[in-house]
């Protein structure tokens, strides 16, 4: 089965994912055509060490500087507040660890929402933590967050901009204000929002991942606002640089920046279009699939992502059935996780975790694809319930 039908010619996403309808944009997008073009050009032109003073090095430095400017502009910060890392995970972890090191006299506790991405939870778990609960819709309790950051010994707070699993947008502005009042820096993991919707300001650090916005894998962005107490958590960092030490994958960084500019320009239109498709999925699934729990905030949500859980259905079986029907989706059910634990996000919300499906759309998702999904889903769920003997339970 050829997965790569494209010829490198800028084209539609569907060329790359022709075998299936790709509904897992929250995990990563196929590279935007502009990213591929920019990467190819930068591979010719930007292979040298940007720190060197000869001609090829200066050319690489120009490309790197331009990429940094472009990313900074889209995030609304200064270029010297932007660092590049090997992944979104590395960015989030470096952001958190760097504040923990710099503020160790204050304490080491990380206050965070219960629904952070696992990369943030792993980093937080290197020391004491203060998790803050969310409500049934997956929205963090602002009052509880404010109380958590006022407690003694908090080095840094972490809040995801919007849930990668259920789409609920978090009250970043209110939490940022509470953090500022308590003198605690706030790290916002904006991986799902950047390139799709604006992220409110007021944060001290922000992390993002290029593959989530249509850039290549292998590029993370860490923004650190001026005045934030942050020390590079890795050995041998260049003084004053926010970049992860070691040779950056410059063509990938250039591709990431080009893609970000392109997706941000199209973001308002895409958000309106995809949000309407997500609304259609939310309504139709609730209407056509019995005993289904549509998860997450119906209004304050990401434009491209919807999650639902089907009572009595095995999540893994549903994933495979959808795969055979030509749809690539994700799931938070325990049977689909290597740990065999249900998603901590669904747990924190107290919603059904089995039979869970996450559908996330991308700029090339068509109405026809969504309609075809909505056509086949009720039959697939019904068949799995029949096989399990749970119809009418």
| Residue choice 116, 165, 314, 369 for contact with another protein (CB under 8 A) | 314
Does 118 bind another protein (CB under 8 A)? Our answer is no
Closest CA to 176 of 151, 149, 152: 149
| Residue choice 47, 122, 234, 312 for contact with another protein (CB under 8 A) | 312
Length of the chain: 393
Does 334 bind another protein (CB under 8 A)? Our answer is yes
Distance between first and last Cα of the chain = 40
251 C-beta neighbours (distance < 10 Å), count = 22
Give 20's Cβ-side CA count (13 Å radius): 17
Judged by DSSP in three states, 315 sits in helix
Nearer to another protein, 184 or 349 (CB): 349
Give whole-number Cα distances, 179 to 141, 182, 254, 287, in Å.
Answer: 14, 5, 34, 42
Does 311 bind another protein (CB under 8 A)? Our answer is yes
Residues with a known catalytic role: 335
Shortest distance in whole angstroms from residue 347 CB to another protein: 5
The one segment of 68-76, 279-287, 345-353, 360-368 that binds another protein by CB under 8 A: 345-353
Closest CA to 139 of 350, 334, 311, 332: 350
The one segment of 1-9, 21-29, 200-208, 307-315 that binds another protein by CB under 8 A: 307-315
Give 297's Cβ-side CA count (13 Å radius): 18
Nearer to another protein, 252 or 346 (CB): 346
| Residue choice 45, 177, 347, 371 for contact with another protein (CB under 8 A) | 347
| Residue choice 351, 359, 377, 380 for contact with another protein (CB under 8 A) | 351
87 C-beta neighbours (distance < 10 Å), count = 18
Residue for token digits 């949000």?
275
| Residue choice 350, 366, 386, 391 for contact with another protein (CB under 8 A) | 350
Check if the beta carbon of residue 223 is closer than 8 Å to that of residue 241.
no
| Residue choice 3, 287, 390, 391 for contact with another protein (CB under 8 A) | 390
Does 336 bind another protein (CB under 8 A)? Our answer is no
Site string for another protein, 275-294 (x = CB under 8 A): ----------------x-x-
Pairing of strands 327-328, 21-22: parallel
- The whole-angstrom separation of Cα 28 and Cα 88 is 11
Does 346 bind another protein (CB under 8 A)? Our answer is yes
Binding site for another protein (CB under 8 A): 291, 293, 311-314, 333-335, 340-342, 346-347, 350-355, 388, 390, 393
């Amino acid at each position: 089965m050829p997965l790569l039908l494209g010829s490198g010619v800028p084209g539609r996403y569907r060329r790359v994912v022709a075998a299936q309808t790709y509904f897992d944009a929250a995990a990563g997008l196929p590279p935007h055509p502009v990213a591929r073009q920019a990467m190819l050009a930068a591979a010719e032109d930007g292979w040298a060490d940007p720190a060197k003073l000869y001609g090829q090095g200066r050319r690489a430095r120009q490309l790197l500087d331009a990429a940094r400017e472009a990313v900074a502009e889209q995030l609304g910060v200064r270029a010297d507040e932007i660092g590049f890392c090997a992944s979104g995970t590395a960015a989030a972890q470096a952001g958190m660890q760097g504040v923990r090191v710099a503020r160790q006299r204050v304490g080491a506790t990380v206050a965070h929402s219960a629904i952070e991405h696992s990369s943030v939870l792993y980093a937080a778990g290197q020391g004491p933590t203060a998790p803050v609960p969310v409500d049934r819709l997956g929205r963090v309790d602002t009052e509880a967050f404010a109380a958590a950051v006022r407690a003694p010994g908090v080095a840094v707070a972490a809040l995801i901009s919007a849930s990668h699993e259920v789409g609920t947008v978090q009250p970043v502005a209110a939490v940022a204000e509470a953090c500022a009042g308590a003198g605690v820096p706030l790290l916002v993991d904006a991986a799902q929002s950047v390139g799709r919707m604006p992220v409110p300001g007021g944060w001290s650090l922000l992390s993002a991942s290029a593959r989530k916005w249509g850039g290549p894998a292998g590029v993370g962005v860490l923004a650190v606002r001026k005045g934030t107490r942050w020390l590079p958590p890795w050995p041998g960092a260049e003084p004053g640089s926010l970049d992860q030490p070691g040779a950056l994958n410059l063509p990938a960084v250039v591709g990431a920046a080009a893609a970000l500019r392109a997706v941000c320009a199209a973001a308002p239109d895409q958000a309106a279009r995809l949000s309407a498709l997500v609304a259609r999925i939310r309504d139709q699934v609730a209407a056509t699939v019995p005993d289904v729990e549509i998860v997450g905030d119906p209004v304050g949500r990401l434009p491209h992502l919807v999650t639902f859980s089907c009572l009595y259905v095995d999540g893994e079986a549903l994933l495979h059935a959808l795969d055979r029907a030509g749809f690539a989706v994700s799931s938070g059910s325990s049977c689909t996780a290597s740990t065999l634990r249900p998603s901590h996000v669904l747990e924190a919300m107290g919603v059904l975790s089995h039979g869970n499906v996450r559908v996330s759309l991308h700029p090339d998702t068509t109405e026809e694809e969504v309609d075809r999904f909505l056509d086949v889903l009720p039959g697939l769920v019904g068949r799995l319930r029949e096989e399990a003997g749970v119809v009418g339970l």
